[in-house]
Structure 1
Amino acid sequence: MRLPPEDRDLSPHTGYTRAHWEAAADGLLEAAWRWSSPRGAFLDLPGRPSKSGVRSDGLEGYARTFLAAAFRIAGAGGADPNGLLSRYAEGLSAGTARDGAESWPVILDHFTQGQPMVESASVALGLRLTRPWLWDRLDPEVQDRAEEWLRGALRHVPAPNNWYLFPFTVAGFLESVGRGDAETASARGRALELLETWYHGQGWYSDGDGRAFDHYNGWALHLYPVLDGYLAGKSLHGDRLREHLESFSLLFGADGSPIHFGRSLTYRFAAASAVGLGAVTGSTPLALGVSRRLLSGSLRYFLERAAVDENGLLSLGWHGPHEPTLQSYSGPGSPYWASKAFVCLLAGADHPLWTSVEEAAPSEGPDRVLALPEPGFLVQSSGGIVRLHNHGSDHVRPFEGEVAGDDDPHYGRLAYSTHTGPTSAGNPADNHFAVVVAGVRSVRRRIHPLGAAENWAASWHRPVFATGSPMVPGLRVESLTVARGVHELRVHRVIGAPPGARVELTGWATGAEAVSSLRPLQGWTDEDEVVAPQGTAYTAWARMPRLTGDASAGLFVALATLSADALPDTPTTFTDLTFTWPDGVTTHLALEPLGVS
């Protein structure tokens, strides 16, 4: 990828300017188009196919790169120095042809052939953004064929989550070109109705019914409606995006890394798309120098860590290829949802997003702890590392039972960070409290929040076992995290444990990128270290501290630490439910309910 020289006067933190974003878009698009089908309807990128099959994957490559091209060209007022629009126009013509050699898969219900519905939103948004230079110049027959293919998204059932915003986006495009009707109005109305039920406050949506709070907030649940309103010349939920960015802006490390939490992390710097959207639309509480710091920091972070392979393509993974990061729906074109970050290019070259001097990211300031009771998060920032203590997001849908699956590394752990990734399902679990019955360790599935305020958050769950009896009657674990500086006080109360049960607590899984410790304070009898041979997204091989004890003790207290440098000296005391931190501040625990008094 050919990037221009750094500008450390304008961008003292990253060196990146708008020209770097344009060059990154150009480089990614140039590389991807080397793998196009003869007429360009498919970009058949190399790599393991998704469960949807290679034709769907080829459409995904077309649609997601089209989105990056559309942001790039629309932000430049239609300038298309690399001749991309003619390629996408030809691909659209071939893809929407009936029974042609490059005809796209039709859009069906999500449970039969749903992936094309996802890609229809990127096609529609790309067409809307480039309308004067692409859509308006198409033959009427091609326009009609494109409309008919897109309407498949309006006539079939989306997945019960952010997918409802795909027909919403398709309908928005059709209405913008004078092709709206009752069908488009219905799709838009239904999506907005559901969006209301998924909004929990503090700028956070759940991804469908239930309590799935993750990066889909930024790159889907905020992006589609806010951008739709902006393109239509009106405001739509911009106030929610503004409130979201107040907390979300803290979830980037000083090195630019987003928080490593939730599914679809192969989208990488798409995590910053909400930051760019807020800057473009004015729906942001951030100084624009801070916005660019977060955007460019995230882009640079991945470009410097092998996210782009030897072919110039975004790989399936986090830094480089990383199988445990992926889901079954991930295919070679999937990483190009990273294209959503290029929404920032809709701000022209003279926009303050690009002319303001970069300012420090929130995580580069003083130590900070932020409680978010609505999603059940406790965000802790210290020394450039950001931690997310999860007491509210579980990705277990309402119609699924507690035993709907085994350990989910992307949601089930107690904590996540910008510098460590969860261990894979086949390795010992990091940041996990397990009840061990007859040699079988429990997992944490559905999470029930107990509260969050100031520097603490708490929750409870029913331990689930993969073999033998899936649950023990009456067994319940309550968990509390209190954060200060680089330290986390972890408190767990076990209720209803059967005779002979044991408990285990693990800390952060680290390699060379960070160090961690786990100090027993009450209830624990033994401590050692375990390894994760498959490593994490950050390290090829990881180790983590572990504490064990007899479940009959009931209350278990430990002090966890994660640092980028040597672990600090931590003189502390814990007596009579009162913990004294290294700086002399005291925390008093409450048990009914579990929390801080």
Structure 2
Amino acid sequence: MSTFATTSPFASNPLQTRSDLQNFLVGLLDPLAAHTSPGGARIHLGYTATHYDEAAAQLEGFSRPLWGLASLIAGGGEYAGVNRWVEGFANGTDRQHEEFWGDMRDKDQRMVECSAIGFSIAVAGKALWDPLSAAAKKNLEDWLGGMNDKEMPNTNWLWFRVFANLGLSKAGSPRADTKRMKADLDHLDTFYVGDGWSRDGPEGVIQLDYYSSSFAIQFSQLLYSKLAQDVDPERCAEYRKRATRFAVDFVHYFDTEGRAVAFGRSMTYRFAMSSFWGALAFADVELPEPLSWGVIKGLQLRNIRYWARQPGAYSPDGTLTIGYNYPNHNLTENYNSPGSPYWCCESFIALALPPTHPFWTAEEAPYPSVLLEKTVELHKPMHIASSRGGHTFILSSGQQCSYPVKQSAAKYGKFAYSAAFGYSVPVGNLTLEELGGDNTLALSDDDGETWKCRRVTREARFENGCLRSMWYPWKGVEVETWLVPPQAEAPLWHLRVHRIKTDRKLTSAEGAFAIYGQRGDGRHLDALEKADDFGTGTFADPQGVARAVSRDGVSGIIDLGAAKDRQGVAMRMDPNTNLVVARSVLPTLSAENSALEKDIWLVTAVFGLPSAGGEEGPRKGWEAEWAKRPAVPSFIPIA
């Protein structure tokens, strides 16, 4: 195939050394100059809207690259365009200037951007604060301090005010409110639930996604533990302790290729997913074996390398796109502006370290082999992680967003989330092709006119090494689900068992992993006629089997129920449903379920095997793994 338009502008960077990472950052910062306002205070990258105003959106474009720029400067590096941000600080906080950012109100998006600004003052003040005039410093102080008497959401946002006050404190500003900072920290600590995990909100919130780790809470705790250890040593020690415990769980969300499991909201932040590993180094938190400095370095750099080589993550001029592996507004939240993706600059935190730090002097190590080929129960986030057979994914039951978020059923309610295959989101609400129904049981009570998928999970719990939960799509309909992780005897299969009680006729559709749906020449996959034809293409039969084989590996689904009354379908999904590939195919089982006086049992085996090592196509020997069948555990009371 032609490589025209399929190569990332950063693909040639090996991203193995500190200077490689510096060059990658500079490559991201330089294109922003053409999109920066004359006064430097705003960066305008596109015309799509958010729920907040355009001035705040352009402030977002200005502030988020500061995570990288400040880290570069803190580590002794230089950037020729640093004055763009110095001028931006002066003009963005000057009420008389046309580029004034605007004063903060209650629950204002501007509060989010204070985090990067406060951090930059704290670690790179000589380059970003000291050059400001006395009047400009006062304006910036007043602007940042203006959030101290405002109402904030009861979420990770409180960390943004902590960093605003921390930056002011480091600058010796009288506007630093240390009492406010302590109160915020005390409240944030009430989010802690144990095992290193913090939920993204108060008691009752069941949300432990990347905001609990790399995007916000763990990342912020680690940076605070380094920057405030002289004034708050006890809390800083506790944060280091939490990070040490958290790492034991978090490592299971990454695969050997550097990919992280796609789960939850804000996926457009991309390699911010791995910023936790760099923050550990920034805070000098040394972990026990097997998480050596070389392993930590590998986890961070492999993830950044993966993202540097995704052509769809970047516009032709090198600016980031809104999306995941390619531009995709279907996955976005109402707070994603064109500047939002630059939250990924958190993952440049390792540049703040000197070249003598063990993170940089250690030889990069591969993913620890002792952590592979196993399943692990992660009790706080209600996940079971599996790396058996070369596929890293999680089974999930029990999380849901505590407030309205677009596509939240897809982001939190699916049964499985993969590091390789990503997840899919709806692009419409009429057909199954629009639904993006991978790794979910979709139900319709109007003959397929509309569909419901699990969004709010109830009574979720671990039981006999599985996840068991309830879902109530309508009054009179209840679904009980058991998720059974892969076993050594069939390492590429996981089981889903559903017991449905219903007072109405239902149509059901259950999907496997969505996978790249094209041939090597770019045309869609051909249908194969024989079950034992294991070549590239799709196979489906009315006896409850569907499978797809492409350059990205294999995905399949089989009905293990006694009746075998579900139809296998290799469904070509509407474009742009899947986060990873714009053209996907979804092996699916569909059925009419009309037993109104007894339980309906659906017993499903799902197969997933991604390609590996940059090679296209499934790994050798996968056919033997496909021939295996997982056993339904005896404790599941199938009638």
Q: TM-score, normalised by structure 1?
A: 0.87
- The answer to whether the aligner puts 1:232 opposite 2:240 as a matched pair is no
Residues in 1 aligned to 2:54 and 2:356: alpha-carbon distance in whole angstroms? 42
Please state if 1:46 is matched with 2:46: yes
| Residue 330 of structure 1: how far off its partner (Å) | 0.9
Q: What does residue 475 of structure 1 align with?
A: 478
5 Å-filtered alignment, 1:175-574, equals 175-179=169-173, 184-209=177-202, 210-217=205-212, 218-233=214-229, 234=233, 235=236, 236-285=238-287, 286-306=291-311, 307-362=313-368, 366-397=372-403, 408-425=409-426, 426=428, 427-428=434-435, 429-439=437-447, 440-452=450-462, 455-463=465-473, 471-473=474-476, 475-484=478-487, 485-494=491-500, 496-511=501-516, 512=550, 513-522=552-561, 524-529=564-569, 530-534=571-575, 535-549=577-591, 550=593, 552=595, 553-564=599-610, 565=618, 567-569=622-624, 570-571=626-627
Label 1:473 to 1:57 Cα distance change in 2 as closer, same or farther (>3 A).
Answer: same
Q: Work out whether residues 253 and 363 of structure 1, in 8 Å CA contact, stay in contact via their aligned partners in 2.
A: no
Contact 1:294 1:361 in 2 (8 A): yes
Tell me how far apart the structure 2 counterparts of residues 500 and 134 of structure 1 sit (CA, whole Å): 65
TM-score between the two structures when normalised by the length of structure 2: 0.81
Alignment of 1:49-64 (within 5 A): 49-64=49-64
**Residues 31 and 313 of structure 1 are in contact (CA less than 8 Å); yes or no, is this contact kept in structure 2?**
yes
* Equivalent in 103, 106, 109 of residue 106 of structure 1: 103
User: Aligned partners of 1:121, 1:91: CA distance in 2, in Å?
Assistant: 16
Instruction: Specify whether residues 589 and 542 from structure 1 end up closer, same or farther in structure 2 by C-alpha distance, changes over 3 A only.
Output: farther
Any conservation in 2 of the 1:363–1:381 contact (CA below 8 Å)? no
CA RMSD across the alignment: 2.7
Name the CA distance, whole Å, in 1 between partners of 2:131 and 2:36: 22
Structure 2 distance, partners of 1:184, 1:474, is 53
Q: Determine if contact 2:43/2:59 at 8 Å carries over to the other structure.
A: yes
Task: Tell which deviates more after alignment, 169-178 or 289-298.
Answer: 169-178
Whole-Å Cα distance in 2 between the matches of residues 263 and 103 of structure 1?
30
d(CA) in 2 for partners of 1:443, 1:80: 50
Determine the C-alpha separation between the residues in 2 that align with 1:36 and 1:407. 33
Q: CA deviation at 1:562?
A: 0.3
Q: How much does 1:40 deviate?
A: 0.7
Are residues 271 and 364 of structure 1, via their aligned partners in 2, closer, same or farther at CA, if it must alter by over 3 Å? farther
Q: Post-superposition shift, 1:480?
A: 2.4
How many Å separate the matches in 2 of 1:497 and 1:572? 33
Give 2:5's aligned residue: none
Which SS does the other structure have where 1:130 is aligned?
A: helix
Q: After alignment, is 559-568 or 346-355 more displaced?
A: 559-568
Give the partner amino acid of 2:475: V
Distance 1:486 1:544, change over 3 A: same
Assess if the C-alpha contact under 8 Å between 2:511 and 2:586 holds in 1. yes
Residue 519 of structure 1 aligns to which amino acid in structure 2? I
What SS does the aligned partner of 2:559 have? strand
Separation in structure 1 between the aligned mates of residue 587 and residue 40 of structure 2, nearest angstrom: 52
* Counterpart secondary structure, 2:354: coil
- Aligned pair in 2 of structure 1 residues 361, 339: CA closer, same or farther (>3 Å)? same
Partner of 2:528: none
How much has 1:3 moved relative to structure 2?
7.1
Are the structure 2 counterparts of residues 34 and 405 from structure 1 closer, same or farther at C-alpha, using a change threshold of 3 Å? closer
DSSP-derived class of the 2:252 partner:
coil
Distance 1:454 1:75 in 2: 49
Measure, in 2, the Cα distance between the counterparts of 1:201 and 1:237. Answer: 12
| Contact persistence 1:363–1:382 (CA under 8 A) | no
Q: Distance in 2 between matches of 1:93 and 1:406?
A: 39
Distance 1:200 1:514, change over 3 A: farther
Aligned residues of 1:478 and 1:493 also touching (Cα < 8 A): yes
- Post-superposition CA distance 1:122-166 (Å, at most 9, x none): 111111111233323432221111111112222222223111111
- The separation in 2 between residues aligned to 1:573 and 1:560, in whole angstroms, is 10
- Match 2:146 to one of 124, 127, 152: 152
Please give the secondary structure, in 1, of the residue aligned with 2:310: coil
Query: In the alignment, does 2:40 pair up with 1:30?
Result: no
Asked if the contact 1:477–1:493 (Cα under 8 Å) also holds between the matched residues in 2, the reply is: yes
- Aligned partners of 1:280, 1:177: CA distance in 2, in Å? 20
Cα distance in 1 between the residues matched to 2:465 and 2:418: 17
Aligned equivalent of 1:11: none
Provide Cα deviations, 1:546-592, integer angstroms capped at 9, x if missing partner. 22342644332211110122643345567xxx63xxxxxxx433459
Q: Secondary structure at the match of 1:556?
A: strand
**Does structure 2 retain, via aligned residues, the 8 Å contact 1:371–1:453?**
no
CA distance in 2, matches of 1:388, 1:180: 48
Long gaps (5+) in structure 2 = 1-7, 429-433, 517-549, 611-617
2 CA distance for matches of 1:95 and 1:247? 41
Q: Kindly tell me: are residues 2 and 313 of structure 1, through their superposed partners in 2, closer, same or farther at Cα, counting changes over 3 Å? A: closer
Alpha carbons 1:372, 1:452 under 8 Å: kept = no
The number of aligned residues is 556
Contact 1:455 / 1:483 at 8 angstroms: preserved in 2?
A: no
Whichever residue aligns with residue 243 of structure 2, its letter is: L
The CA deviation at 1:516 is 0.9
CA distance in 2, matches of 1:219, 1:20: 23
CA shift for structure 1 position 449? 5.0
Q: Deviations over 1:205-231 (max 9, x none)?
A: 221131111111222011223212211
Q: Is the 8 A contact 1:254 1:385 kept in 2?
A: no
Task: Flag the 1:5–1:492 CA change in 2: closer, same or farther, 3 A.
Answer: closer
Aligned-residue offset at 1:362: 4.3
Query: How far off is 1:334 after superposition?
Result: 0.7
